[in-house]
Amino acid sequence: MQFMLLFSRQGKLRLQKWYTAQPDKLKKKITRELVTTILARKPKMCSFLEWKDMKIVYKRYASLYFCCAIEHDDNELLTLEIIHRYVELLDKYFGSVCELDIIFNFEKAYFMLDELLLGGEVQETSKKNVLKAIAAQDLLQEETDDTKSLLEELGLTG
């Protein structure tokens, strides 16, 4: 996979993840053009399209479009299911996820994507394992926060 973009029906970018090094200018150009192209497509159309020299796979979930650019020998249908798995993960974590969750917790959305996909390839397809990894991260956060407050209570921090 070359990149993944999440954007709203209004064309606002909510998340971008690039798996190949590109200059910022080019990233912005690709994003702008691709978002326009996809928003112009009708609902019942095919989820795959050839765009420039890329293969694009996209799907809309409620107000959000999930869009991936994949390699020519990548499997289109399974890319749709990567998107779906990601949506499931977000949904499970946030509890019926909505666009706002992703806006306010964008860093979490990134962390979760890093567990599912790494370097553009599927890393872990098991929903259970990804959620376990994220839960472990949250636990670490709480622990460190706890220690912090404990130390504060004891007056040990400046």
At 99 the three-state DSSP class reads: helix
* CA separation for the pair 102, 152 (Å, rounded): 32
Does 61 bind another protein (CB under 8 A)? Our answer is no
- Render the burial of 83-113: b for 16+ CB within 10 Å, e for the rest: bebbbebbebbbeebebebbeebeebbeebb
With left for phi above 0 and alpha for psi between -120 and 50, is residue 135 left, alpha or beta?
Answer: alpha
- In the range 88-117, which residues lie near another protein by CB under 8 A? 93-94, 98, 100-101, 103-108, 110-111, 114
- In the range 63-92, which residues lie near another protein by CB under 8 A? 72-73, 75-78, 80-81, 84-85
Q: Going residue by residue from 13 to 32, which x/- string records binding to another protein, judged by CB under 8 A?
A: x-xx--x-x------x----
Closest CA to 91 of 147, 134, 143: 134
Taking the least distance from each CB to another protein, the nearer of 19 and 63 is: 19
Does 156 bind another protein (CB under 8 A)? Our answer is no
Candidate list 26, 29, 138, 150; residue touching another protein; CB under 8 A: 138
Inter-residue contact 116 to 89 (CB < 8 Å): yes
Q: How many residues belong to the site for another protein (CB under 8 A)?
A: 60
Residues that bind another protein in the complex, under the rule CB under 8 A = 13, 15-16, 19, 21, 28, 42, 44-50, 72-73, 75-78, 80-81, 84-85, 93-94, 98, 100-101, 103-108, 110-111, 114, 118-129, 133, 136-138, 140-142, 144-145, 148
